[in-house]
Amino acid sequence: MYFERIYEEGLAQASYLIGCQATKEAIVIDPKRDIDTYLEIARRKNFKITHVTETHIHADFLSGSRELARVTGATMLLSDEGGPDWQYQFEHEGLKDGDTFMVGNVKFEVMHSPGHTPEHISFLLTDTPASAKPSMIFTGDFVFVGDVGRPDLLEAAAGIKGSRIVGAKQMFESLKRFKALPDYIQVWPGHGAGSACGKALGAVPGSTVGYEKIANWALQYDEEEPFVKALLEGQPEPPKYFAMMKKLNKVERIILTQVPRIEEWTKERLQKALDENMTVIDTRSKMLFAYGHIPGTINIQNNNAFSNWAGWLLDYDEPVAVICGAHEIDEITRKLMRIGLDNLVGYFTDIDGWIEEHPMQRLNHIEPHELEGVLKRNNAVVVDVRGINEYNAGHIKDALHIQLGDLPNRLNELDKDKNIIMHCAGGDRSSTACSILQKHGFKNVINLAGGYGAWMEMVLS
């Protein structure tokens, strides 16, 4: 048997390619949308991808199952569990609890594991030439290393009222089946640390059933009520784009079998876009952005959080352009298409040329030791753009909390006549927040250098 884990750090998302070395057939579980990764592995290892499957209707990325099936002709196997409201609305072969199928000599058994979502399934793998007993389970968003899938996304992100309690109770029952599995079975989840699909995900790629039974907080409960309470407490805000992913992963949509090629813009084309108030994302570092940026642009740095904040802040129905290096456009295009943002229409690289012809805007900052003096001398307000759990764990006195993803809808709560000091944990999110304010005409915007972390370090020193 051949096994390979493919991990996308930006979304902390894992997919898997498993092949039978005797028949050269392979399956991909939970593929991302830029499928050339799997095609290259199959080519390199001389496999034919004959099956594609996924554990559930994903909320945090756009599944590439349909792209992969179209290119390879693979059979698409998807859950038919969860009831009428949780059926995939496109052609596929349905899977139910207890179903089995073979990929060459590798056997897969379906285990319905609702809780995160009603239709969620997991896959027990048996390498039949080696043993008659299963050796792996692919758990998707059911069991993570150190955590379990959150059951509140359907209510928080998709607006399905009352589903969080139902989901938490289903998770409790599903975990009973998980605990009954042999301790030696390897656990391969769909996400790692950094995913918004749980609250305490570990960074280790995989685990075992036995280790999770002793180390995973969620598997320590024997009674439903305290488990439900603990599971629902402290979950982070679900990104706004999760609701769109739930829809697009369920219905017919545009299929992209290749990474799109994006047009490089001239200075004149960029100016036209800005004049038309098109959204332009400056993906450079926060330091370069602060030193000088094109007025009207928004700073979302091209780092591991780019997809998340693009999903929070960009409109799926409006065109967008990016400022980046020529060597970065393929990576950025992939990050956007992985969450279904197919409206990237151009990219601009010639910042030096722009500077020669246009004035640049700066983003001022203050150091933590200057904050108290600025607040005393000036008509100022501190705005904390971290998540609610971060804010509740500790915050600067009298700081107004507006989570970054909510900022565009809460601009009316801020006074343009005041000095507005933005901060997050370390300065990345607050740079984005400051750029949003500047785009909307706020002049007195200041970034707190180093964020809450630097401020706390000063306070404690």
- Give dist(CA 438, CA 285) in Å, integer: 17
Q: Return the active site residues.
A: 424
Which of 253, 296, 233 is closest to 64 using CA atoms?
253
Of residues 455, 447, 421, 456, the one with CA closest to residue 287: 447
**Cβ neighbours of residue 458 closer than 8 Å, sequence gap 6 or more:** 368, 369
User: What is the C-alpha separation between 254 and 270, in angstroms, rounded?
Assistant: 27
Phi then psi for 168, rounded to 5 degrees? -65, -40
Identify the bridge partners of residue 419 per DSSP, sorted by sequence position: 380
Stretch (H or E) spanning 249: none
Taking each helix axis as running N to C, give the angle between helix 65-72 and helix 36-45, from 0 to 180 degrees, rounded to the nearest 10: 50
- Give residue 318's Cα distance to chain centre: 21
From first CA to last CA, the distance across the chain in angstroms is: 55
For residue 395, what are its two tokens?
């915050």
Residue 342 buriedness (CB in 10 A; 0-12 / 13-18 / 19+):
middle
| C-alpha 280: how far from chain center | 21
Is the Cβ–Cβ distance between 331 and 360 less than 8 Å?
no
